[in-house]
Structure 1
Amino acid sequence: MKLKLITLCAFLFSLLIIAQDGNPTDYLSSEFHKERRDAFRAKMPENSVAVLFANPIRNRANDVDYIYHQDPNFYYLTGFKEPHAVLVIFSDEQTNAEGNSYKEMLFVQDKNARMELYNGARLGVEGAKNKLGFDMAYFGSDFENSGIDYASFNKVMFFNFEDDYRKSKREKADLYSLIETFKTQANYSVNAIPNPMKERAYEMIKATEIEQSADVAQNLGRALEYYPELKDDKIISEYVNTTDNNTRIELKQQVIKIESETPKSNLDTQSLTTIMGELRQIKTEEEMVLLTKAVRISAMGQREIMKAMHPGMSETEIQGVHEYVYKKYGSEYEGYPSIVGAGNNACVLHYIDNTKMHVENDLVLMDLGAEYHGYTADVTRTIPANGKFTKEQKIIYDLVYEAQEAGIASAVVGNPHNITDTVGREIITKGLLELGIIKSEEESRKYFPHGTSHYIGLDVHDAGLYGAFEANMVITVEPGIYIPKGSDCDEKWWGIGVRIEDDILITENGPINLSAEAPRKSEEIEKLMKEKSALDDFTLPSLD
């Protein structure tokens, strides 16, 4: 409860804090990012180096790019919002040619007067030092001569490249060049990157006695279903498909021979995921101020549309009301593409077309989240467009609500992460059976096909390890039922799609619903929908 009071007070206080130039001042502090780098360094293996790159610029069309959004891990550790940048963190203190010691280096995009004329001032080296708190800051053009000897480290940790970046026509030291420099200096190649699933499969084969080989082959066979790329490995495929013990012994010897002859690489594309997951799954008080504000803004959007909704609205107009509320509260972006699905469209889990011109008397599922200073909410409400649930709509809605209540109640310290899904799915399955919508428990997943909880934070599906719940984790609880037209049940249920999603702070004293300001009970929704909306009198001239 103490953390809730702190975040609430900070939220209200932050509304009053505006810089003299009119810009907000409630961003994460440079001290926060430095402390996060120190926490990261404490988790690094001995004699290791981590290299993180800024997000690529995404092209929209021709010479127009999408609004730039920094890679969340990069932002978490630096606070730097610009492209074409590299962060290098060392596990141990380094010394340069001048005798200066350091543990980190930040390379930022070069100053460019013409590009800054079009796109705004760049922070530059001095800004990185003065505003972000880096002692060792350089331009990206210096990265090639950084003097880092990657071969001297036991581990060189980085996220593997997705090849979704392009060479810039205007920037010399662009992301493309920075990555190519790193690949050359770190002796990177696709073949040098260990495949963790292949390594695990080889380890199982190598460690298995012949008496247990059939069981291991069965387990590997299941792994091939989830990781089809393993089928390309002849040893693994043959080990799974053969029933001959002598063949399996020969394959085991081949694995031992391959491992003994394969030079060990110090390139590591796996460890960063674990380290960042450990850090980001636990929110600090400074993070909670921003995340709570993002959630409350999103809840306010849900409240306002409940008052404004009517059957003549379009899906995209409903989306616009939410996003207008976000902007009124100072949210920079949406955390993800807004989902507004009326009727059967609600049965498409990630429906983002939002093109239906009139929602009529359908249920409208609205899954939207405001992003505030990098932190995104994820709040879903499903409401009747005409303000009144039908009998069938209310039955399904109340069943989902019951499942969500059980899921939220189970979100306590020490419980496994999947407990919210387990308890909610049990209620939904029992309810669908009693309603005759399904005939067996196995059919339930057809109408409730997704998981119930994920972390939120700098990503809407935030980094984390999905172990037991700990204090100051923030998760969603979002059960749902989706019965599309043509389903194998009474057609009176067809076209009903319901999801209720809230953002839950886990504390030592139990779960706190951060998005509780948006009504969830069916009766409370109907009551709020009767209230006058500030948008009732907002009309525009006809263009016909």
Structure 2
Amino acid sequence: MNKIFFVTNRQKLGDVLSQNSIAIFFAGQAPYKSADETYPFTPNRNFYYLTGIDEEKVIMVMININGKVSEMLFIQENDPVMAKWVGETISEDRAKEVSGIEDIKFLKDFESIIASYFDRFSIDNVYLDLERQEFNIPQTSSQNFAVDIMKRYPYVRVKNVYHDIALLRTIKREEEIELIKKAIDITYDGIKEIWSNAKPGMKEYEIEAYFNYILKKNGVKDFAFPTIAATGKNATILHYVDNNTKTEDGEIMLLDLGAQYKYYNGDISRTFPINGKFSERQKEVYNIVLEANETVMKAVKPGITTGELQDITKRVLAQGCKRIGLIKEDSELNKYYYHGVAHPLGLDTHDVGPRNIELKPGMIITDEPGLYIEEEGIGVRIEDDILVTEDGYVNLSAHIIKSIEDIEMFMSKNNN
């Protein structure tokens, strides 16, 4: 990602800051897993969106004094001893190159420099990314800082800038769209690897491993979310991630998976027969979900809300379920469909934005209807990633096959 992307994001955010204010953003820090071992670090997504820096403990500061906005980045000084254990920390030159911020300082000076601004200027507002909305536990760096500021400077107003950043992030720029498309492409490579190797009798985690292999082969460090590879009744559990059941001949597997590429995510669901052939009943259920997926997609355009897309989903699913004798009344659908059809996608898999959002050009959402029939051991979900355009939509995952005929043909040709 070019540094101009991050510079532009900060410029847009700078327009929100009032005069004589300070905005402070924290990269975060990896939490401890055990006595001396941490979980892998991943940066606060809003911090990354503004800086492009993915190193822990780094702090970015924006200061508006009399209408002029300046920026500073606080990084760790390199410790030669620690470098032998964990590698060198980001250099001043590299921090400038990535973020476009010229004023680079060291973390040891953070408190004194910030205090000097309070001493020299009449700072009225401090903007923080209080994404959790409450000063609850566990505390984030922003929340801890907010508490400290309110104690030291009780006259200063602490303002939550989270929603302002979220508003910027909902509209994807061309660079972001390309990264999401790349994540989707890698995800499809993993799906094809699964379809080429899955066989009855394998454990779900064995099948999942083919996806993991393809991601690592493509240099992907992380998943968009824990992979769901579910058969039988497991496929009726929305966020089933144990993936430890032996697959049986005649079952279908629900895949919900995604690669994360340079922190941008793909989110795809496909359902396929373990033995390469759908049964007639599985076809009936699958085609209802496919009809809902395609009907919702055709309805995507600026101005429609995700709530309205959910209404369309329920209508199509209810009609289909009544057609095959699964339900008699629309109200019974809740037994077999119990989640939303769409959510924003981006730096977070369930990206920022309100739950019932009005679509605008540049937004990317998922389209993921499903049916989950526990008593029959059938769970079907079909999910695509959709870009909202000025006059409608583009299906970013259109190349990922999903018709019964195409899936069966692919497995017949490639799974030997």
Structure 1 length as normaliser, TM-score? 0.70
The reply on whether 1:55 has 2:28 as its aligned counterpart is yes
From 163, 167, 171, the equivalent of 1:282 is: 171
The reply on whether 1:39 has 2:5 as its aligned counterpart is no
1:389 match: 278
Residues 411, 419 of structure 1: 8 Å contact kept? no
From 368, 380, 402, the equivalent of 1:498 is: 380
**Higher Cα Rg: structure 1 or 2?**
1
The reply on whether 1:267 has 2:241 as its aligned counterpart is no
2:41 match: 68
| SS of residue matched to 1:111 | coil
**CA distance, structure 2, for counterparts of residue 391 and residue 44 of structure 1:** 60
1:365 match: 254
2:395 match: 513
Q: CA deviation at 1:126?
A: 4.0
2:357 match: 467
User: In structure 2, do the counterparts of structure 1 residues 48 and 181 end up closer, same or farther at CA, with 3 Å as the change threshold?
Assistant: closer
Identity among equivalent pairs (%): 34
The reply on whether 1:156 has 2:47 as its aligned counterpart is no
The reply on whether 1:135 has 2:109 as its aligned counterpart is no
Q: CA deviation at 1:162?
A: 4.9
User: In structure 2, do the counterparts of structure 1 residues 180 and 412 end up closer, same or farther at CA, with 3 Å as the change threshold?
Assistant: closer
From 154, 162, 183, the equivalent of 2:147 is: 183
| SS of residue matched to 1:187 | helix
**CA distance, structure 1, for counterparts of residue 148 and residue 167 of structure 2:** 30
Pairwise CA RMSD = 2.4
From 266, 279, 282, the equivalent of 1:377 is: 266
| SS of residue matched to 2:200 | coil
Residues 20, 66 of structure 2: 8 Å contact kept? no
Structure 2 residues without counterparts, runs of 5 or longer = none
The reply on whether 1:88 has 2:64 as its aligned counterpart is no
Residue identity matched to 1:524: D
The reply on whether 1:117 has 2:81 as its aligned counterpart is no
| SS of residue matched to 1:62 | coil
**CA distance, structure 1, for counterparts of residue 248 and residue 35 of structure 2:** 35
Residues 123, 156 of structure 2: 8 Å contact kept? no
Residues 400, 428 of structure 1: 8 Å contact kept? yes
User: In structure 2, do the counterparts of structure 1 residues 347 and 45 end up closer, same or farther at CA, with 3 Å as the change threshold?
Assistant: farther
Q: CA deviation at 1:65?
A: 1.7
Q: CA deviation at 1:429?
A: 1.4
Residues 452, 476 of structure 1: 8 Å contact kept? yes
| SS of residue matched to 2:166 | helix
User: In structure 2, do the counterparts of structure 1 residues 186 and 127 end up closer, same or farther at CA, with 3 Å as the change threshold?
Assistant: farther
**CA distance, structure 2, for counterparts of residue 353 and residue 343 of structure 1:** 13
**CA distance, structure 2, for counterparts of residue 479 and residue 181 of structure 1:** 42
Q: What is the CA deviation profile of residues 375-429 of structure 1, one whole-angstrom value per residue up to 9, with x for unaligned ones?
A: 0100010111111111111111100000000111111122223232121111101
From 367, 384, 391, the equivalent of 1:477 is: 367
| SS of residue matched to 1:268 | strand
2:310 match: 421
User: In structure 2, do the counterparts of structure 1 residues 390 and 131 end up closer, same or farther at CA, with 3 Å as the change threshold?
Assistant: closer
Structure 1 residues without counterparts, runs of 5 or longer = 1-27, 95-100, 166-174, 193-263, 486-493, 537-544
Q: CA deviation at 1:120?
A: 1.5
From 350, 359, 362, the equivalent of 2:239 is: 350
Residues 52, 98 of structure 2: 8 Å contact kept? no
Structure 2 length as normaliser, TM-score? 0.91
Residues 309, 529 of structure 1: 8 Å contact kept? no
Q: What is the CA deviation profile of residues 310-363 of structure 1, one whole-angstrom value per residue up to 9, with x for unaligned ones?
A: 112221111111121122223221111111111110111001111113343211
**CA distance, structure 1, for counterparts of residue 192 and residue 148 of structure 2:** 54
1:29 match: 2
Residues 126, 156 of structure 2: 8 Å contact kept? no
Q: What is the CA deviation profile of residues 236-286 of structure 1, one whole-angstrom value per residue up to 9, with x for unaligned ones?
A: xxxxxxxxxxxxxxxxxxxxxxxxxxxx861223xx232112111111111
Residue identity matched to 1:519: I
Residues 153, 266 of structure 1: 8 Å contact kept? no
